Amino acid sequence: MIDNRKEPMVSIVIPSHNNRRRDLVDNISSIVKGKYKNWTITVIDQANTDDTYSHIRKRFPKIKVIRNSKNSGATGGKNQGIRLLPRGADYILFLDSDFVAETNAISELVLSINNKPEYGGATAKILYYHSPNIVQYAGSSVGLITGINWSNSGPDDGRFDKLIPTEGAGGAVLVKREVVKKVGFFDEAFFPVYYEDADYCYRMGKAGYKILYVPTSRFYHKAPFQNTEAWLNNAYLTARNKLIFMKKHSVFFIFFLVIYPIFPLFYLLISLKYRRYDALREYMRGIIDGFGYIIRN
């Protein structure tokens, strides 16, 4: 247990773009009411079109709210948080705006890796807010042959209660200050979102750091179950950012020649089944834009 007088400082960065204001309020309130007290909060208002900026400033006058004129995505928002990292901060917690923390969520993350130099970061168990007995995330990895993002999920029946290293992170990841200084910024090629966390975690691994999945740190995600419809809606970013990620981290020509041709065929079949021809079109556009980025860079 960490003495409250000696708690490391945690800088919490929360990018927000047109999420429900109520969700952000609940997010911040859960941190304020939590057991861990040595923190700062920076909300990155990514050109929200409602009154989020003024409301949060009025409701929580002690936290910092940065208002951007343009949406720089999850990548840009997190990088802004890194640039604004307070001098005395020991950790930075990247947190999605529609998460609600249990009272000991931050304490458990810090405790799990404090004074453990082999671990550069820690990530929490993520459950669905409206179905709290279902785990959305309990550690993940991206197959460097297939490019498939594997995430542990399912009923919260005890199978996800082991403290284990993981290759990926969910929407609540704690990173040590010295690791951020060494690994650097999130790659804004992954604008606005998707694969940016996986990329950062793999870069941490290449820098010699492990990431720990901490099941006793629990956050609740105010999101619907991930289903085929949601997957089809994200066809463009899935196609584009998968290509960029695999170019950076895999033996790309094997992935491209052997595995990747399967994905458009799979999207074709799913799009036909659900009559979502727009998803197939967006997936192909993502492939074109992904290759365009790779060629230019």
- pLDDT digits 0-9 by tens, 220-266: 999 876 655 666 668 899 899 999 999 999 888 777 777 778 888 88
In this structure, the answer to whether residues 147 and 192 fall within a common structural domain is yes
Residues with Cβ within 8 Å of 207's Cβ and at least 6 positions away in sequence, in order, are 120, 179, 182, 183
Strands (DSSP E) contained in 230-285 are none
Give per-residue pLDDT as tens, 90-99: 999 999 999 9
Q: Which domain holds residue 288?
A: 228-296
> Same domain for 256 and 116?
no
Query: In this predicted model, which residue has the larger pLDDT, 165 or 267?
Result: 165
The length of the chain is 297
The verdict on 184 and 108 lying in the same domain is yes
Same domain, 114 and 193: yes
Identify the domain boundary among 191, 221, 251: 221
Domain endpoint, select from 193, 221, 249: 221
What's the per-residue H, E or C state across 134-165?
EEEECCEEECCCCCCEEECCEECCCCCCCCEE
Together in a domain, 72 and 198: yes
What are the start-end ranges of the H helices in 60-156? 73-83, 105-113
Same domain, 177 and 289: no
Residues 88 and 24 in one domain: yes
- Is the same domain home to 158 and 93? yes
Last residue of some domain: 201, 221, 241?
A: 221
Tell me what the mean pLDDT of segment 200-213 comes to.
97
235 in the same domain as 203: no
**DSSP state letter for 90:** S
Six-digit token pair at 264? 């458009």
pLDDT in tens, 12-39: 999 998 877 899 999 999 999 999 999 9
This prediction's pTM: 0.92
pLDDT band at 145 (very low <50, low <70, confident <90, very high): confident
Are 103 and 151 found together in one domain?
yes
Look at residue 161 in the predicted model and tell me its pLDDT: 98
Domain check: are 26 and 145 in the same one? yes
214/278 same-domain check = no
CATH number at residue 29: 3.90.550.60
Per the structure, how many domains does the chain have?
A: 2
Rounded distance between C-alpha atoms, residue 105 and residue 293, angstroms: 38
